[in-house]
Amino acid sequence: MKLYNWKGAPNPQRVIIFIKEKCLDVEIINVGHPTGASLSPDYLANNPHRLVPILELEDGTKIGEAMAICRYLETIYPAKTQLMGINPLDQAIVDMWERRADMEGLGAVGEVFRNSHPAFVNRGLPGQTENIPQISDLVVRGSKRLNLFFTKFDNQIGKNPYITGERFTVADITTFCATNFALKVCKLKIPQSCENFRRWHKSISSRPSIKN
């Protein structure tokens, strides 16, 4: 199996951390443009959805969308560490929080990034060939929304080690990738008042799947 990656992009990072946590043998292929801020022309020519990540199976079948890929790997390797819940209710709770991290965290930071970065003028939405103008109001809204996300997740974490309680899951992975992109690329900050979140972030950042 091969995973197509664009180094630094948060969506393939979700799958890469997932693969490392499960110790799976998947070849990572970087398809970022060698010099510009886009995917490579070869990759775009062969992938009409123009997005990463994509998992390519041995027979050439391609699966897109980070969580569809993670769930596929979770299902076909049942003996590896379970990262998407261990019974139907636990799975639902993990699914719910992963989804919130995606919509409210990654969605917010994506708004900020795509609508402010000079390399993405007229590329306000990923995966499109048409001109999509940047909307400066979305930079303001995205920052505000990201702070609401930090506060909500700070409350959810409370005294627990992980987003959904005692086990590390994909909800932690998506929350980390959103936060990491906000901090490293968009130069935003976790509010000082979000002490639980800051403690969680420090602890997650030291995991081997993330640190290396």
CB 18, min distance to its own copies, A:
14
- Sorted by sequence, the CB contacts under 8 Å of residue 136 that are 6+ apart come out as 115, 116
Give whichever of 69 and 182 is closer to its own copies, judged by the CB atom.
69
DSSP 9: -
CB 79, min distance to its own copies, A:
14
Alpha-carbon distance of 76 to 82, in angstroms, equals 11
Give whichever of 127 and 207 is closer to its own copies, judged by the CB atom.
127
Give whichever of 21 and 111 is closer to its own copies, judged by the CB atom.
111
Task: Specify the 3-state DSSP secondary structure of 52.
Answer: coil
CB 208, min distance to its own copies, A:
27
DSSP 121: T
CB 211, min distance to its own copies, A:
29
Task: Tell me the pairing of strands 2-5 and 27-30.
Answer: parallel
Give whichever of 72 and 120 is closer to its own copies, judged by the CB atom.
72
Helix or strand holding residue 153 (H, E): helix 136-157
Task: Specify the 3-state DSSP secondary structure of 191.
Answer: coil
CB 77, min distance to its own copies, A:
10
Give whichever of 144 and 184 is closer to its own copies, judged by the CB atom.
144
Give whichever of 21 and 74 is closer to its own copies, judged by the CB atom.
74
Chain residues that interact with its own copies, rule: CB under 8 A: 49, 57, 61, 63-65, 67-69, 71-72, 75-76, 88-89, 91-93, 95-96, 99-100, 124-125, 128, 130, 132-133, 135, 137-138, 141, 144-145, 148
C-alpha dist (Å) from residue 152 to 1, 56, 180: 37, 36, 17
94-97 — which CB contacts under 8 Å span 24+ positions?
94/164, 94/169, 94/170, 94/171, 97/156, 97/163, 97/164, 97/169, 97/171, 97/175
CB 23, min distance to its own copies, A:
19
